[in-house]
A and B are shown apart, each in its own frame.
Chain A
Amino acid sequence: MKRILGTPASDYLPAAALWIVTALYLQTAYRYTPAVRAFPAGVAWIMLLFLKIDLVSRTKTTRGGALSRWLNHAAAPAHPAETEAPQRARQAVAVLWLVLFAALIVLVGILVAVPAYLFAALRWQGRRSYRACALGAAGATLFVWLLFSVVLRIALYPGLLFGGA
């Protein structure tokens, strides 16, 4: 793996990504008048300073070592390989299921997404029998419908495809 100043390049990723986000935030803040932007812009500048210190503290230099000792001595290395990292494939699958479920709710609504997601997740992730998956999905959907729709009288979102706004 490529190293920068003695540290794996991926170690710098979180701080670097936050640096970009903060820079964009600051750029947006500067569209407002000086009096109005004072507080958020001030916070963003302080954030950039912190991130710069964070980036320096990650280097394997004398200054970096000193900063890390004083300011972040208990922090685990950002490089996932050096921590108890789960397999990348498992992480990707977990995130994918989450994104799919959220997208499904938005597209087809809660009362369709909940049983569909539960059935699929229990079947393919949990490797449960078809019967157990169907029962689990039906039970959870019934619970959601009874609690939110009947008892709390909250109109459950119908989904963009079925008239939801």
Chain B
Amino acid sequence: MLAVWLSGFLGLLQFRELLFLGLGMVIGVVFGAIPGLGGATALALLMPLTYGLEPFTALALSGGVMGAIPMGGSITAILLNAPGTAPSAATCLDGHPLAQQGKAGLAIGAAASANSLGGIIGTMSVLAVLPIAKQLVLLFGPPEFFLLAIFALVTVASASRGKLLRGLITGALGLMISFVGYSDVTGGEWFTLGSEYLWDGIPLVPSLIGLFAVAEMINLAAKGGTVSRSADTVKVTGMWSGVIETFRHPVTVLRGSLIGTFIGAIPGESGTVAAFLSYSLTVQASKDPESFGKGNIEGVIAPEAAINAKDGSALIPTIAFGIPSGAEMAVFLGILVLHGMQPGPLMLMQNQTEIYGLVWALTLSCLLASSLGLLFVRPLSLITLIDADVLVPLVLCVAFVGSYSVNGEIENVVVTAAFGLMGYLMIRFDYPRLTVVIAMVLGNTAERSFLQAMQMGDGDWSIFLNRRVSAILIACIVIMLAMPFMRALVRRVAPRKEARSAP
């Protein structure tokens, strides 16, 4: 086994492979930073160009792109609240408030280092797990997928900083939105109001651009000024403090990385779920949950570690079963096939050097991309000092054109504008936005898995209790729902105890 690890690594240390890895990394950062583009677009564009390359070189290029995408996405998420990629939306929640406080350097430094550490931990986990991947993934059936979706939703709602009810309301709203479109369960179209465009459902990326980038730009335009509230306080030199902060929170990094690795290995689950789940569990575990959403550095570290750790493990279902975990992996699957590698158990035996080379390429790319992010953190942080009257039109242009470019449909622009308005109203009336996102991502999985589970159990609900993993997930859901009440109880009891013990 060690020999294959090494041969994969040494294969990558050739001039040509390193060159294409670097090229992929730069492309990845750029595509990650522009809302609406992302890894799937970058890989799709590069796919025909890889045709003339050796398979190993093509994999180095792809690995370079995939490893660097999260860093690019994080930069715009932190600076402009415009997530370049969907998973980076979780980074917006605390990264952007930090930028508003003039600590963009700190946030980007933490994101870059958490990215690297997450990538490394993810790679190590994948290298350890790859040989037993098949058995692990098979532990999850429809009941477990359904409960995992509910668990993720409840976790995010209960992490809404004392707004459990509003979190649950927006979660339910997100589920309702996710049901729009063609249903593969019923074979018909739902809630489309006669629009053909809506047959594919409400597209996630244009919605996310609206909910975060556009909503924030409306808010900024309405308030005026700059992203960073005070020009005097922008600490463009805080990046090393960000790196140090990451190392000061090893549990957050490890938790995020393990969540990312775990979620990434489940077919159909995306980096968005990993990032939000990691964020929510970090809020739950924190002694100061109220500080999240206002610029807590752990709120940047947790999703970033998960996003990059997920990239490595997402290869497991793609390579072992030929089931891509998302759009990016689906395009990557095409690149594998183009180069004569047929994903499946056979590939795990026949193309071990290529697989391990790819895993190393992903790791190297995320390390190098993070360094690139750190290198450019100073000039990038200055974006937060641009006046709203100039910044807002420029960001809106990129947001709308990026939204259109997702699949070349003009309706995306309307969706982005509508979600922008909805996001702005949610900001104004203090409703959490992340539960909408997580519900939109998980809605279809939840519905499909629920119906499949009910069919498996002949309509008997006990199917959710009789399986070991299901029972564990139910216990986790109950604990998560009870958590805010327990916290409230502690808050009420603690002052009384203190008052009694006071002399």
Contacts and interface: CB of A to CB of B under 8 A. Distances in A.
Contact of B401 (A47, A71, A114): A114
B176 A54 contact: no
A91 B401 CA distance: 23
A130 interface: no
B176 A40 contact: yes
Interface stretch (B56-64, B70-78, B328-336, B385-393): B385-393
A152 B413 CA distance: 18
Interface stretch (B215-223, B318-326, B354-362): B215-223
Nearest to B416: A102
Nearest to A17: B425
A95 B218 contact: yes
A114 B397 contact: yes
A78 B245 CA distance: 35
Nearest to A72: B165
Contact of B408 (A47, A71, A93, A154): A154
Contacts of B389: 121-122, 125-127
A95 B420 CA distance: 9
Nearest to A110: B401
Given A39-B450, A47-B172, A117-B393, A86 B430 contact: no
Interface size class of A (residues with CB under 8 A): 35 or more
A14 to B, nearest CB: 5
Contacts, number: 176
A40 B176 CA distance: 7
Main secondary structure of the interface of B (DSSP, over half): helix
Interface stretch (B156-164, B257-265, B266-274, B372-380): B156-164
Contact of B410 (A44, A128, A140, A157): A157
B135 interface: no
A102 B430 contact: no
Contacts of A91: 218, 222
Q: Which of B408, B417, B484 has the most CB of A within 10 A?
A: B417
B203 to A, nearest CB: 15
Contacts of A30: none
B488 A69 contact: yes
Given A32-B190, A101-B400, A50 B394 contact: no
A122 B393 CA distance: 8
Contacts of B247: none
B485 interface: yes
B484 to A, nearest CB: 8
Closest 8 CB pairs of A and B: A74-B162, A126-B389, A94-B221, A71-B165, A121-B393, A47-B172, A102-B417, A86-B222
27 contacts: A14-B431, A29-B191, A40-B191, A43-B179, A44-B176, A50-B168, A50-B169, A50-B172, A57-B165, A72-B166, A73-B162, A75-B162, A86-B223, A90-B223, A90-B224, A93-B221, A95-B421, A98-B214, A98-B218, A101-B400, A106-B410, A110-B400, A122-B390, A136-B390, A148-B405, A152-B41, A157-B410
